[in-house]
Structure 1
Amino acid sequence: MNGRFDHDVVVIGSGFGGSVAALRSVEKGYRVHVYEAGRRFADDDFAKTSWDVRRYLWAPALGCFGVQRIHKLPHVVILAGAGVGGGSLNYANTLYRPGEEFFVDGHWPGGFDWEQELDPHYATARRMLGVVERYPHTGPVERIMAGAAEDLGVGDTFRHAPVGVYFGKPGVTAPDPFFSGDGPARTGCTLCGNCMVGCRVGAKNTLAKNYLALAEKRGVVIEPLRTVVDVKPLDGGGYAVTTVRSGSWIRRPRTVTAEQVVFAGGTWGTQSLLHRMKATGSLPRLSESLGHLTRTNSEALDGAISVAVPEKVGLAHGVAITTSFHVDERTHVENVRYGPGSNLMGMLATGLVDGGRPLVSRIGALIVQLLRAPLTTLRLGSLRRWSERGIIALVMQTADNSLTLSVKRRFGRYRLTSAQGEGEPNPSYLPGAHRAARAIAARLEDEGGVRTEARGSWPEVFGIPLTAHFLGGAIVSASPERGVVDPYHRIWGYPGLHVVDGAAVPANPGVNPSLTITAMAERAMARWPQRGEQDSRPPQSN
């Protein structure tokens, strides 16, 4: 490293991968600059409810600079995060470690026992993210989930979720309880339920409260509202990184140079950028495997809704996800909630219609539901107090299915598109998810004493599943024929470029992937040399 570059390291993105890369590289003596497309949020900057779309949704061209991104591909609708802290700002603070089937998936590069290799880094990730191994409260929703698991014959798989939340005295601010006073002050969780809209209390262990706070104290510069549009190799080594202001109608590009560049913009952001760089010739040697083995965590979002707020049932009281169970050995179900007033996402919900039949039949089934009970159907579909009347069921699988992503140029812009990939087809309908939704609905009706039905989503009706956990497409691999980065997260053919985010994950974890992304990032950065010292990682052979 020397002074001929503006920065030693440029990190693109500040989510679970980028935040680790920023902190660990500055600790090793590097001069680090982070570009984040989203804005920076103080606790009271977050939307009070999801109806404050300018602070909740991400649509910068329309003046919306919130935390919730929504992307659509032909085969999936993707929910992702935006802002300094990435997906940690709007994720459900749920930090499971996957089971052993994840680590033995054949798409991991050989030569490593990946479960053992990542074990110490999971421990570091849990400590840094402040994981409480068992959600400490039990209320009506937790009882409903336990009962649904019993009804499905899988009661032994029910558990309270591990969550990244500070459960101090509710609403009371205390000095940093996690990093011996080196981190920010924290406020005890009030169980308001709005974790996924943005924690205005200061209880949620977002990356802004741990990795990024510590990184900035050590000299990392985070520049929000800058979108990276180009990365090009420089003659003699290093890279030129070009950015524009996020959402600006008039682009004024700005370019800096760096010895190392870390792609950590989340799977959507990293894949979009890499595909565009390959198509435009900025990075022509990128592996032909780019976009292959893109994962959706084999996910579905269903649930249950009542016609009215069930008496004595506080469905919106608690953190976003509190419990889970397994419908079968590869299908994992979690309850999800939004807080009172955060009803916007209810616009995606509709009646539950089983798949495996033509679209006209699925739409016909919804029409039959309406004609049989028009008043009940309209009441179930109302957005009024939606978050207080229902339970969302987030369903994930370890199934080996995937999509293949590529880019198409339309109207002068490159846009991602999808096709079915290796393994099983990416599912548009999960029978286990529907069984779980119906079991939850039955228990909710018993608990609340009012008419309750299982619910699906509009995208699912049209054969397009929803996922909050978009992964892969630039996976770790033993060769460029099998993936985009080597086992140390260096891009094949460009060892000064790195992918350190969910795009590098090679398999469906079947649980929330945030802890795994963090652990993989910790492992990758642990292999970096101290600034100015010899690199002990083996050179790329291809």
Structure 2
Amino acid sequence: MTEFDEDVVIVGSGFGGSVAALRLAEKGYRVRVYEAGRRFEDEDFAKTSWNVRRYLWAPAVGCYGVQRIHRLPHVMILAGAGVGGGSLNYANTLYQPGSAFFQDSQWQRIADWEAELAPHYSTAKRMLGVVEHYPHTGPVERIMKGAAEDLGVGSTFRHAPVGVWFGKPGERTPDPFFGGEGPERTGCTLCGNCMVGCRIGAKNTLMKNYLALAERRGVVIEPLRSVTEVRELPGGGFAVTTQRSGAWIRRSSRTVRARQVVLAAGTWGTQQLLHRMKATGALPRISDAVGRLTRTNSEALDGAIAAKVPESLQLARGVAITTSFHVDERTHVENVRYGPGSNLMGALATALVPGDRGLAGRLGSLVTQVFTAPVRQFRLGNLRRWSERGIIALVMQTADNSLTLSLRRKFGRLVMTSAQGHGEPNPSHLPQAHVAAAAIAARVQQDGGEPAEARGSWPEVFGIPLTAHFLGGAVISAGPDAGVIDPYHRVWGHPGLHIVDGSAVPANPGVNPSLTITALAERALSHWPRAGEPDLRPVQDPGR
């Protein structure tokens, strides 16, 4: 086989796929990107989260928004959709993890990863336009600082590094990042709707940097195309089959041949493909380790809310995440906000219940709280102005816990399921999150003069944590018995297939992972040869 439609096909356009698109185009490859989601211009995003068709992703019922929600037995997952992947609805928060992440036993002996990745973190920060410290202080930032001090960890409080063009609020300006080669930008207005989709044009999504530059270099991006199969070809290379996203009929199935393929469909999408292609024999040599070391960033989403707050307490004003502190050495807490009117996700919130009880105990606690103070619980749970009355607490840990994902048959279809994996059990709740939420609630009440309360989520009531940072399952390893990809992100047994998204991340970073995914992708692509030149990477040992 010597004829290929493309040199490289990239599946997905998030943080890993966008890096691959630009860097491979710069090295002279013909590149095509398939993205399951739609393409958005700034004005295409939903005005608030109540515009369900533009906010939620459920293409089978006509919803082509940016917010995916997936469910497994042990976790509920929030992810992104669209050209630009998770950058469209993430909180533009770009932390670099601490040393514990780089020293995880899964990959510690392969390289000095902290030193190896340092220059690539620098490149990622430059490309994503990182402002190291959020430059504004308002009521939420003061509340978070006060909560940290009340917990005795005030020294750990800091303003978050964010990927936003602040400029002059609402003012359009020529590209300030890439010498005029990138798109025009508009200064941030602090509207708070970063996670619904930035209609202002201030958020440094991947369409404002990597993907914009990649398209200028000839990369073709096809939106609303879901990859259904990646099959190795007898003479080398791969056949990649796609269909129209969400189609019930007229699926418009197409197949192209590519010399190499990069999987960057996010942890959910990439794992789905790997599991199915291994099961069907399309990619028969995928490691049996696929699905192991799937991580949730040991995460919880709790928070604090008041029934009413004064107009002066503008909790919804600012970018999505602005500050953080550490409850202990492995537990990181960030404030999260939605803008005024974006109250839909409040439907996931409910009273905080003791996580160390069984289901009956948690339900009993919930019922007791409701019947003891029904009016108060109704007022707290009311979605009207929900985003303006509270603060979400995003809590993450570097703890070594994991899930193992696999396929099972359900109603005649193969679907992913989960089981507890290596390390500690993946937590259904975090006691530290409850402590942090209570401290934040006390400060909201102090500043607002109205009783405030720590809040949990409905999934947590049923023992299922929420995560916005689903990672791993196709991790970097020294050999195929321990993971799915080699240190150059080539799939063991299929070296023309590469993985450069969150599924490659081998440990819980304990911070928002977007910067790390970008840095890992930058490093992986830096080792690719230029088109037509010798590949200096070590040849995979087929016996490993």
TM-score (norm 2): 0.99
- Percent identity of equivalent pairs: 76
- Give SS of 1:262's match: strand
Alpha-carbon offset, residue 367 of structure 1: 1.1
Write the letter of the residue equivalent to 1:262.
Answer: V
Q: Deviations over 1:270-327 (max 9, x none)?
A: 0011101111111111100000000000000000010013341000000000000000
Name the residue aligned to 1:169: 168
Task: Tell me the distance in 1 between the aligned counterparts of 2:103 and 2:358.
Answer: 36
Task: Tell me the distance in 1 between the aligned counterparts of 2:374 and 2:235.
Answer: 70
Q: Deviations over 1:394-424 (max 9, x none)?
A: 0000000000000112233221100000000
Task: Tell me the distance in 1 between the aligned counterparts of 2:413 and 2:164.
Answer: 40
Question: Do structure 1's residue 113 and structure 2's residue 107 form an aligned pair?
Answer: no
Residue pair 1:240, 1:255 contacting (<8 A) in 2 also: yes
Q: Deviations over 1:141-180 (max 9, x none)?
A: 0000000000000000000000000010000000000000
- Give SS of 1:324's match: strand
Residue pair 2:354, 2:365 contacting (<8 A) in 1 also: no
Alpha-carbon offset, residue 427 of structure 1: 0.3
Alpha-carbon offset, residue 358 of structure 1: 1.3
Name the residue aligned to 1:346: 346
Task: Tell me the distance in 1 between the aligned counterparts of 2:237 and 2:311.
Answer: 63
- Give SS of 2:515's match: helix
- Give SS of 1:353's match: coil
* Matching of residues 342-381 of structure 1 within 5 Å: 342-381=342-381
Name the residue aligned to 1:433: 433
Task: Tell me the distance in 1 between the aligned counterparts of 2:86 and 2:413.
Answer: 25
Q: Deviations over 1:222-275 (max 9, x none)?
A: 000000000111121110000000010023321000000000000000001110
* Matching of residues 304-343 of structure 1 within 5 Å: 304-343=304-343
Task: Tell me the distance in 2 between the aligned counterparts of 1:167 and 1:106.
Answer: 40
Alpha-carbon offset, residue 109 of structure 1: 5.7
Residue pair 1:13, 1:34 contacting (<8 A) in 2 also: yes
Residue pair 2:40, 2:83 contacting (<8 A) in 1 also: yes
Residue pair 1:109, 1:477 contacting (<8 A) in 2 also: no
Name the residue aligned to 1:224: 223
Q: Deviations over 1:197-227 (max 9, x none)?
A: 0000000000000000000000000000000
Q: Deviations over 1:28-70 (max 9, x none)?
A: 0000000000000000000000000000000000000000000
* Matching of residues 96-245 of structure 1 within 5 Å: 96-108=95-107, 110-245=109-244
Task: Tell me the distance in 1 between the aligned counterparts of 2:441 and 2:400.
Answer: 29
Task: Tell me the distance in 2 between the aligned counterparts of 1:414 and 1:57.
Answer: 24
Question: Do structure 1's residue 303 and structure 2's residue 303 form an aligned pair?
Answer: yes
Alpha-carbon offset, residue 3 of structure 1: 6.8
Name the residue aligned to 2:275: 275
Alpha-carbon offset, residue 361 of structure 1: 1.0
Question: Do structure 1's residue 6 and structure 2's residue 5 form an aligned pair?
Answer: yes
Name the residue aligned to 1:420: 420
Residue pair 1:109, 1:487 contacting (<8 A) in 2 also: no
* Matching of residues 253-272 of structure 1 within 5 Å: 253-272=253-272
Name the residue aligned to 1:83: 82
Write the letter of the residue equivalent to 2:104.
Answer: D
Write the letter of the residue equivalent to 2:280.
Answer: T
Question: Do structure 1's residue 540 and structure 2's residue 524 form an aligned pair?
Answer: no
- Give SS of 2:130's match: coil
C-alpha distance 290-360 of structure 1, shift in aligned 2 (>3 A): same
Write the letter of the residue equivalent to 2:204.
Answer: N
Task: Tell me the distance in 1 between the aligned counterparts of 2:291 and 2:512.
Answer: 21
- Give SS of 2:10's match: strand
- Give SS of 1:260's match: strand
Task: Tell me the distance in 2 between the aligned counterparts of 1:409 and 1:105.
Answer: 34
Task: Tell me the distance in 2 between the aligned counterparts of 1:337 and 1:414.
Answer: 37
318-327 or 409-418, which moves further after superposition? 409-418
Q: Deviations over 1:450-481 (max 9, x none)?
A: 11100000000110000000000000100000
Write the letter of the residue equivalent to 1:284.
Answer: P
Write the letter of the residue equivalent to 1:360.
Answer: A
Residue pair 1:309, 1:385 contacting (<8 A) in 2 also: no
Residue pair 1:109, 1:478 contacting (<8 A) in 2 also: no
Name the residue aligned to 2:499: 499
Alpha-carbon offset, residue 372 of structure 1: 1.6
Task: Tell me the distance in 1 between the aligned counterparts of 2:240 and 2:414.
Answer: 18
310-319 or 434-443, which moves further after superposition? 310-319
Write the letter of the residue equivalent to 1:415.
Answer: V
Task: Tell me the distance in 1 between the aligned counterparts of 2:142 and 2:32.
Answer: 47
23-32 or 251-260, which moves further after superposition? 251-260
Name the residue aligned to 1:457: 457
Write the letter of the residue equivalent to 2:116.
Answer: E
- Give SS of 1:309's match: coil
Write the letter of the residue equivalent to 1:300.
Answer: A
Task: Tell me the distance in 2 between the aligned counterparts of 1:374 and 1:48.
Answer: 32
Write the letter of the residue equivalent to 1:234.
Answer: L
Alpha-carbon offset, residue 103 of structure 1: 0.3
Write the letter of the residue equivalent to 1:140.
Answer: P
Residue pair 1:310, 1:389 contacting (<8 A) in 2 also: no
- Give SS of 1:149's match: helix
Task: Tell me the distance in 1 between the aligned counterparts of 2:97 and 2:173.
Answer: 33
Task: Tell me the distance in 2 between the aligned counterparts of 1:370 and 1:336.
Answer: 26
TM-score (norm 1): 0.99
Alpha-carbon offset, residue 110 of structure 1: 2.5
Moved over 3 A (4+): none
- Give SS of 1:507's match: coil
Alpha-carbon offset, residue 368 of structure 1: 1.1
Write the letter of the residue equivalent to 1:390.
Answer: G
When the two chains are superposed, the root-mean-square deviation of aligned CA atoms in Å is 0.8
Alpha-carbon offset, residue 374 of structure 1: 1.0
Residue pair 1:475, 1:483 contacting (<8 A) in 2 also: yes
Name the residue aligned to 2:28: 29
- Give SS of 1:447's match: helix
Name the residue aligned to 2:408: 408
Task: Tell me the distance in 1 between the aligned counterparts of 2:374 and 2:158.
Answer: 38
